[in-house]
Amino acid sequence: MKNLGIGDKARPFVDNAGTDLIIQEIIDGGIPVKDKYLPNGWRWEVECSFNGRSNGIWELVVDLDTNQIVYFNFINR
């Protein structure tokens, strides 16, 4: 990570005004598969972009037992 200061976010898409929309687009844009680490988890990997500049893959894992997101990430390609 490049020169992050105290309080800087390593992942600017978390706690962003559009986070709910991003998550919904990931869910709508892909077919979930069973997560290989979480016994009752679904995983999405969807090709997209971030801020229209970076192309990559959005990753999302939801724990179906608690209905909570346990993993949310964007990987540049």
In the chain, % of residues over pLDDT 70: 78
pLDDT above 60 (res 75): yes
Q: Read off the pTM.
A: 0.77
41-50 and 68-76 as β-strands: parallel, antiparallel, unpaired? unpaired
The tokens describing 43, both together, are 């995983």
- Report whether 41 contacts 23 (CB < 8 A): no
More confident residue, 6 or 26: 26
Adjacent-strand bridge partners of 74: 58
